[in-house]
């Protein structure tokens, strides 16, 4: 297992170096330079071991607040939207 992790780190470093040499800017804050699990992408937690996608409570709260704001904006219209199920 350790050999695989070391090999993965080596390959990641090689790719990182090549991308930099080609003139691309790499955002280190958003980059995974070593194997990690699970990962978060666009606010969604990706767990490939369990084959699951999860939304953190903060993301769920953002969605609910956005939906409530949409309802407030359209409150004068007749709106028969389906309920939000989380």
Domain ranges of the chain: 1-33, 37-76
Q: Model's pTM, two decimal places? A: 0.42
Of 35, 32, 27, the C-alpha closest to 2 is: 35
Which residues, in sequence order, are bridge partners of residue 53?
46
Q: What is the pLDDT of residues 5-23, one digit of tens each?
A: 788 888 888 998 999 999 9
Looking at residue 43, its pLDDT comes to 79
């Amino acid at each position: 297992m350790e050999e695989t992790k070391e090999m993965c780190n080596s390959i990641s470093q090689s790719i990182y170096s090549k991308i930099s040499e080609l003139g691309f800017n790499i955002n280190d804050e958003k980059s995974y330079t070593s194997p990690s699990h699970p990962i978060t992408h666009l606010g969604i937690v990706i767990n490939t071991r369990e084959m699951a996608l999860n939304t953190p409570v903060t993301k769920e709260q953002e969605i609910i607040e956005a939906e409530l704001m949409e309802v407030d904006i359209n409150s004068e219209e007749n709106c028969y939207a389906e309920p939000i199920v989380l």
